[in-house]
Amino acid sequence: MIPKLSPPTSFPSKTASFHEITRTGHSFAASLRIALFLAALSFSLQAAELFPFVLPWDDASAGATDVSAWLEKPAGRNGFIAAKNGHLFAGDNRQRFIGVNIAFGANFPTHGDAEKVAGRMAKFGINCVRFHHMDMNSAPAGIFSKDGRTLDPERLDRLDYFIFQLKERGIYADLNLHVSRTYPDLPGSEKEGSPKFDKGVDNFAAAMIALQKDYARALLTHVNPYTKSAYTDEPAVAFIEINNENALLDEWHIGGLDHLPAPYRRELSGLWADWLKTAHGGMASPPAAWAEGAHPAGPELLVNGDFAQGFEHWNLEQHEGAAAQIKTADGVLRVDVQKTGPQPWHVQFNQAGLHFRQGETYTATFRARAATPRKISVNASQAHEPWAVLGSKEFALTPEWQSCSLTFAASQSDDRGRLSFSGLATATGVCEVAGISLRIGAVNGTVERNAEGAFASFARDEVAGHTFAVQRDWYRFLWDTEARYWKGMKQFLREDLHAKSLIVGTPLGWSPFPIQAQMDVIDSHAYWQHPRFPHKPWDAEDWTVAPLPMTGAADGGVLPRLALQRVTGMPYICTEYNEAAPNPYSAETFPLICAYAAFQDWDGIFAFAYSHRTDDWAKGYFPSFFDIDQHPAKMASLAASAALFLRGDVSPGSRENLAIVPLETVIDTARASGPRVACDAFGLSPLTALLHRTAIRLNPMTDRTLFRAVIEPVIISDADPSAPTHERSKFTSDTRQLNWDTDDKVVTIDTPRSKGVIGFAERRTYDLGGIGIEFGALKQGFGIIQLTVLEGADFSSAKRILVTAVATAENTGMEWKDVKRDSVGSQWGHSPSLVEGVPAKIRFLPGQKWKAWPLDERGRRREAMALQENTLEIGPESKTLWYELTAE
């Protein structure tokens, strides 16, 4: 819930920052005042060594870092969470969620641990837990018994007690149904070729849908003995999610259904036949429109595809230390990879200077083999930034020569395109390629029938060789089939099981927004610098996480892309978000998303994840990419960040920019480019999200004009003093509370009850509504300071303030693989976790007198600190990330 706030009695005057004043040439008097201010704060510090700082896993103690009072207890006290006026409500009160994911065995703590974990979560403002990956394994890591169908009683009891403890502390539940279960519908020997976790297939396969319903019935109608309610009747269950990151359109688009086992292909073909009968009648003969636009293959587009001229017109690329040698002889190109690279594309060869036209069909053919089995990818793409891929396919090579073919409809036009053979840096050894050809492909106006006489279903690159009418019908069939699945599952939960919680389908990006708009809530996922696995997925030793800060991203990183997916008029949550460890800048995770989620007026943010670990809570260090529970910088910033979003310190934007799009345009756009259809596909710049609220919605127009939309801004007067400024690299929100300078790589927050600086602030000074912050030396040049009023309407009337200062965090004994500091492999180190103490001077408003204390890892006061002339000096000598101030 967003606590009701009393209006501030007075607001601090807003003054320009020092850098802004010196650039714009303010009066001498103003400059002199700033110079005197800087002189008063000036000091010199060298970046200090890291020191131990472990946040106890079982801490629920009171103090300045305890914001559990912001949570209404018990969860569900005002009835079920409801969707009203485009947002979430608990009774008559607006509800927002700062949530976390619990994954795998961590879903089932012992009773004693459940009490402690729930208490700690509440202390940090966490008010919803998403129960994730319960279904992948049998007990003890999962909820199923050994048969993979029935629920394990002991795991279910642990889950029940955990949810009970969360409820008592004001923490809601989000129950996920299918996440990572492989369905026991067929023997494993008959499922070869099915996508991982049966994704996409379970949107249409009747046996899998029946198993989903069986699981939902068993879990949701079960009565929790501690709450005395079935989960269908439990108001502390805020959401029920049907299927995680799983949709038919996405799986088909990425080629995941290209090798379907025969039983599933037959079932899909049968559904396609039924759809055609409904759409076109008896289908004794194909529609005449299917033949329109058919044509033979065009001329050759490549030069020297037979290597008769050696390697001329081709380019070999080697990056990041990867190395290869090439030879040509007798029409064969021989690529000998001698050293692998961090990413598969670090060895590739390509031919540039190609012209691609959006929607046109192209066919690339070649022969290839490899000394040892390996995979390569063939991509048609831009030969310039942003290197967009226009068509691609992966091929599994063996020692035997094989003929390979890629047919695709170009997702966009480009006059500087290229054809690339990539993925070669994954392993050393020899690959050979011959007879490469690229042509405007033949377009077929007929569709083959299967053995039963029905038109057969298509693999992804099969449909590209057919006319536009065939492609459109096929994609509309997939669209309608997926939409029927979500509607049917929601109907089953609501009408058959009588579930009263809000129902979520799957995140946008996997399923397009018009389909997910059938659900109660729109969901999305995003990660900044997700780990990359160049050779084997989820290899614990072989991975990289780019050490990049999102504050330094010229495009705003992932936040604008999240904002451009919001559907106006519907609640919007992001149930997975994180900046992966060990990125040294990941302390920015929660301050950034909480600030901009509040500005965009979203309804929920969920960290992925709190923990994946089974009965292993007292780690004392962060052992993986995503778990935040033992990450000191991320956890320490949660209370101040909760104030921005949960308490509502950052105001929603005053203006909303909409992309208004006809349904047929959305369908055609998704067919060409994939199911992630957001505002930017229709002309709205992502950076607009740093200035105004953004959203997309359907237009009731029915025309089929491709790639057209209406951008409908809410007009405000140019004379309005709240109108935003938009310089080349500086983005000031229309509320004037947030400013993102992508050149300086700094975000500032200036609201009546919260102030903050996030980014490369070393030896810089900031004036936020009369509060001065001067940073000292920092190990990475990067640091974060947040000031949060705990008691009082604003800083001028504050009685109690929390200061949060975070920067780099590592583990004792963490071993970087090299100077790039982008991987530690399996050497995550051990306890205790280590942090950087941010050196700074903070000047508070004149006329106020303060007492100050550094706080220990539980948020308890240590020995009092002295303030000099209303200025608090903090730094590594205090061995803390938190400080408390009270007015004298």
- Find, among 404, 436, 434, the residue nearest to 332 by Cα: 434
- Which segments within 742-875 are labelled E, that is strand? 746-750, 754-759, 765-768, 771-775, 783-791, 800-806, 809-812, 830-835, 840-843, 850-854, 871-874
Q: Tell me the two tokens of residue 145.
A: 């018994």
Strands 402-409 and 229-230: unpaired
Write the DSSP string, 146-203.
TTSSSBPHHHHHHHHHHHHHHHHTT-EEEEEEESSPPPTTS-GGG-TTPPGGGTTGGG
Q: Tell me the two tokens of residue 213.
A: 């319903």
C-alpha distances in Å from residue 271, one per residue of 262, 571, 587: 14, 33, 49
* Rounded Cα distance, 353 and 381, in Å: 11
* Rounded Cα distance, 175 and 662, in Å: 33
3-state secondary structure of 640: helix
Kindly list the strands in the beta sheet with 809-812, ordered across the sheet, starting from the edge strand earlier in the chain.
51-52, 830-835, 809-812
* Rounded Cα distance, 553 and 555, in Å: 5
The one-letter amino acid code at 733 reads S
* Farthest CA pair distance, the chain: 90
Write the DSSP string, 441-497.
PPBBS---B-TTSSBPP--HHHHTTB-HHHHHHHHHHHHHHHHHHHHHHHHIIIIIS
Strands 800-806 and 882-887: antiparallel
At 249-264, the pLDDT tens digits run: 999 999 999 999 999 9
* Rounded Cα distance, 501 and 210, in Å: 21
* Rounded Cα distance, 770 and 192, in Å: 65
Strands 347-356 and 414-422: antiparallel
* Rounded Cα distance, 95 and 83, in Å: 10
pLDDT confidence of residue 452: 76
* Rounded Cα distance, 350 and 373, in Å: 22
- Find, among 229, 251, 249, 253, the residue nearest to 173 by Cα: 229
Alpha helices per DSSP H over 524-576? 559-563
Token look-up 């033992």 returns 630
> 315-440: which CATH topology?
Jelly Rolls (2.60.120)
Q: Is 625 exposed, middle or buried (0-12, 13-18, 19+ CB in 10 A)?
A: buried
> 94-259+488-531+545-645: which CATH topology?
TIM Barrel (3.20.20)
Cβ atoms of residues 721 and 599 within 8 Å:
no
- Find, among 56, 74, 77, 73, the residue nearest to 65 by Cα: 56
* Rounded Cα distance, 320 and 425, in Å: 10
pLDDT confidence of residue 47: 59
- Find, among 307, 294, 315, the residue nearest to 367 by Cα: 307
* Rounded Cα distance, 59 and 546, in Å: 32
- Find, among 620, 598, 649, the residue nearest to 790 by Cα: 649
pLDDT confidence of residue 710: 39
pLDDT confidence of residue 42: 39
Task: Give 10-residue mean pLDDT values along the chain (888 residues).
Answer: 34 28 30 36 56 97 96 97 97 97 97 98 98 96 95 98 98 98 94 96 98 98 98 98 98 93 94 91 81 93 96 95 94 96 92 94 96 94 92 93 93 94 94 97 85 82 90 95 98 98 97 97 97 91 95 94 96 98 97 98 98 94 97 98 98 94 92 92 91 91 40 33 51 96 96 98 96 96 98 96 98 94 96 97 92 97 93 96 96
Q: HSE-up of 161 (CA within 13 Å, CB side)? A: 15
pLDDT confidence of residue 359: 85
Cβ atoms of residues 623 and 668 within 8 Å:
no
Whether the ω angle into residue 721 lies within 30 degrees of 0, i.e. cis, is: no
Whether the ω angle into residue 225 lies within 30 degrees of 0, i.e. cis, is: no
C-alpha distances in Å from residue 336, one per residue of 2, 328, 433: 61, 11, 12
Residues 6+ apart with CB under 8 A from 765: 18, 37, 38, 41, 772, 773, 774, 775
Q: Where are the domains of the chain?
A: 18-36+45-53+736-887, 94-259+488-531+545-645, 315-440
Q: Tell me the two tokens of residue 621.
A: 């260090």
Q: What is the 3-state secondary structure (H, E, C) of 379-399?
A: EEEECCCCCCEEEEEEEEECC
